[in-house]
Structure 1
């Protein structure tokens, strides 16, 4: 009580003194925590308190990580303020840590923006740490993405691919958005039993607007580093526009997914809902088999279109970009598909059994991975890795760009060379047998370890089908100079895609136009069940 009975000037001085001590203590703690731990992987010297954050570019940090590799090696230790960060630039480290030590390296870093502002309530499987909630949601995806389940979706992919080719024939200048519509339409039918007829459909417009905002607010460097400097969490929302922005994105996302869920429920009650993932999930929820609340149910279905739209569209646009800028590759693809099916566009089985086309698609994923910086993992306890000691809570980034552009693994990695995958499914300088013995992955575009993308087979099927139909139907050429560089020709953000480019899609023959028109009629009859 004596403190509060002091005269105002003395009381003010006491408050200033105590506040100064607290500030100094906080700064001292931040300074100590921003220092590199002992036996940490090599990396640039961190600045006091802020660590290596000032050295990172605002976008496409994966390019900086790749350049640092020449100076510091395949495994780099960084400090994002007090946060320990390790970047893996070689598949060996990813295999040893993510694949072999998945029990320790499968969590996610704390994400105040992701899990508290954008997606509160343990709903988004991509952002959740390794936990019971994550395992419950992951199990739902795995059960829906079995080999047999994915095979049942081929008719939808074939029909929507045929419609896409038909749309480009009728509107060649709109190819960019027609290609973006394809994966969204497949996932709408698959997850919700719902059509996505045109890129201008409101649901597809809402989806891509949401995906743009979602990937933007989660992109490294876009938001203040609240996880590295927790004091930022306590700034009142009325003073923090970034908080309001993140919360608005989350609200919009939840509204979109809930509206789609309620619409599907209404159609189910009316007996109008066709077989789809959501119909299965709602039935299991009613029977108490999946223990999902409504918010989680809405997000499980929503994440199917979220994960399957932007990423597949990006890969498809990159494939077409490669065809436009590598005419000799396109010609080889056309010769292969013509020999297989001269009188009809490729079926699913035919599309998946074209070796050169498959090599082109694998090379596309290597050359221009959709998430080149990787999705952060987190270490759940202290771990010794070779000569290094990695502390609990360390954030780990598998730099997919660095792994796929490793000059010690690939000949001329900056070049688009599908032939590298013809005699060696890994496309590497080392022999295929060496890769198999080493248990490496063909591509790291879908992640690794227990967090690997559950929809990889679905995505690969869709890409093979639409790519085969495109090269069968069209000659593709540039109408002006095209920028295919990752630095300037691609968007920024968490998921990268080619910026709109000028290309001409010309039907190869009038006969093939007629064939596609006839096949499109059959596709429309099939898809009408989802109207």
Structure 2
């Protein structure tokens, strides 16, 4: 109890300091007004109003209430949410000089802004500049080599795993992405399971709803024995560095025995002076971070594609018709991309419909600014809210529906020509704004074309019929209260005028003012509507997502069956050929029994 009391006291001190001392000079200049937003409570702001699940939808709802740019106080920190692509570009791109920093992530052992470990999370500094230059170099080189055909190679193994164990589709899709990324980073695929674990652990560390240190930053100043979260992070960071060094040393050995094997690490080791890194450790992180970033994000759209095909089955036959026409007796490749506009439309629509980073990656404002008469204080965390940006009804009519045709038919605002190039995910808002745009866009598209294209070529996808019957039966058993019933039973007041305004009850004093009655009625009606909306979201199978920064559909049951035996035979033949050539090596355990549990290096619990 004493420890809990001390922790609670420290938390209170930190929040009070944030609120009253850090913000003591944040007066609003004359002629400007504060951004709108929820009022919140003293000390904690609006923390209690943000749900752990689907928090991005709450921020989108606030955008509809307060406007396309508004602010939220979260425990003394000012967060600005942008629901408009135009405003995001005006601020984050056109004013990139002051909007390109990143906020501090307290749960990480080393300061993400200056450690040189994670390029996407670094502030603008010398480390960021040279690592970004290196990233451009390795992406251009590997893109020119068609990413060494790694996506096509690993798509065969993915199909074989889906064919043998379709219920383990999540593992197969994530392994596909991780194996491709491992090959690109280090020339080997056997580190794929370790890369997935590195990605999972880091994702927890950087997510606002993940590591405890992001919710209670002061615990990172405590000793490890008093702060299990800090001890967890210390082992995570220690193991990550050790593994990056192991992988880099493996590439050094490959250069001697097999100098033709390409990888991003080899590009660095072949010309280390050109990269201008401080040492080889920085080089190992510059490569490893891209490996983790790929493993974190690219599988999410593939999983969302399966989800979309279950709920919008009319589009799968259209996609399969295109694939059968372009590559009837073989798997699709990235060389087929110009002739597969419907496949590209499905990929583009999946990333719009269920964006893998629905809150966007936050920016950090380094100077006071103003926008359309509103004051934006220095130190604000800026969020380009992708969930809202991708749902602008003027740009995306009927935005909640999955509809790849919006990219292919001239009647839609999103249509572009030529169809040999468009639609494409390159430069879409999900990849960021201004100087913080993701540099892995081309490899993402390459992975998705080969991965999703191969799945649609080989398999039929459908909802699990038994699950559907149960869901419908449960829905039929649930009674729904109508709005009329709600209005009737809002209070003990009766209602008999045309406006629906409750009459003042007779014999009760003092008599409530009509405005007070209306306000009470409207609050109750609003709460009822919000409860109904939340219930609808809870029952929406397409919104059952993870709660971390990268939003992935949680595993769900569906039918994944081969379209015909001939395709299965083709997959088996290709797999056997590649396997006999030694292309498919099993994953490696780097830390011994139980993956290093209780040891200096190894996996931590996720």
Give the shorter-chain TM-score range.
0.7 to 0.9
Q: Please say if 1:468 is aligned against 2:468.
A: no
Deviation at 1:151, TM superposition (A): 4.2
1: CA distance, partners of 2:14 / 2:278:
44
Q: Displacement of 1:129 after TM fit?
A: 0.9
The Cα of 1:409 is off from its aligned counterpart by 3.1
- Structure 1 equivalent of residue 550 of structure 2: 495
Compared CA separation, residues 226 and 368, structure 1 to 2 (3 A): closer
Shift of 1:349: 2.0
1:78 and 1:527, CA in 2 relative to 1: closer, same or farther beyond 3 A? farther
Note if 1:189 corresponds to 2:176. no
Contact 1:274 1:529 (C-alpha < 8 Å) held by counterparts: no
CA shift for structure 1 position 261 = 1.7
| Structure 1: distance between partners of 2:557 and 2:541 | 17
Selected match of 2:19 from 30, 50, 74:
30
- State TM-score, norm by structure 2: 0.74
1:213 to 192, 201, 221: 201
Q: Distance in 1 between matches of 2:328 and 2:542?
A: 39
2:106 alignment partner in structure 1 = 112
Query: Residue in 1 aligned with 2:266?
Result: 279
Task: Tell me if the contact between 1:409 and 1:430 (Cα under 8 Å) persists in the aligned partners.
Answer: yes
Is 1:510 the equivalent of 2:565? Answer: yes
Structure 1, unpaired ranges of 5+: 1-19, 197-202, 434-439
Matches within 5 A, 1:305-344: 305-344=291-330
> TM-score, normalising length from structure 1?
0.84
After TM superposition, the structure 1 = structure 2 runs for residues 343-492 of structure 1, keeping only pairs within 5 Å, are: 343-423=329-409, 429=413, 443-479=428-464, 480-481=466-467, 485=540, 489-492=544-547
C-alpha deviation, 1:381, in angstroms? 1.6
Are the structure 2 counterparts of residues 374 and 157 from structure 1 closer, same or farther at C-alpha, using a change threshold of 3 Å?
Answer: same
Q: For the structure 1 residues 148 and 168, does the alpha-carbon distance in structure 2 shift closer, same or farther, using more than 3 Å as the test? A: closer
Partner Cα separation in structure 2 for residue 530 and residue 119 of structure 1: 37
Please tell me whether the aligned partners of residues 361 and 463 of structure 1 are also in contact (alpha carbons under 8 angstroms). yes
Is 1:56 equivalent to 2:50 in the alignment?
Answer: yes
Offset of residue 373 of structure 1? 1.1
Gaps of 5+ in 2: 1-8, 418-424, 469-537, 587-606
Is 2:47 the partner of 1:65?
no
Aligned to 1:152: 146
Shift of 1:464: 1.0
**Which aligned segments of 4 or more residues in structure 1 are displaced greater than 6 angstroms?**
23-26, 117-120
Q: Tell which deviates more after alignment, 137-146 or 402-411.
A: 402-411
Q: State the Cα RMSD in Å.
A: 3.2
**How has the CA–CA distance of structure 1 residues 37 and 313 changed in structure 2, closer, same or farther, with 3 Å as cutoff?**
farther
**Given the alignment, which residue of 238, 251, 254 partners 1:264?**
251
Indicate the residue corresponding to 2:575 in structure 1.
520
Is 2:19–2:43's contact at 8 Å kept on the other side of the alignment?
yes
Quick one: distance in 2 between partners of 1:260 and 1:369? 31
Give the secondary-structure state (helix, strand or coil) at the position aligned to 1:77.
Answer: strand
Q: 1:189 to 1:352 in 2, by over 3 A?
A: farther
Give CA deviations for 1:90-127 in whole Å, capped at 9, x if unaligned: 11111111222222211101233236278983221122
- Structure 1 residues 25 and 396: CA distance shift in structure 2, 3 A: closer
SS in 1 for 2:544: coil
Moved more, 448-457 or 510-519: 510-519
Q: Which moved more, 1:359-368 or 1:205-214?
A: 205-214
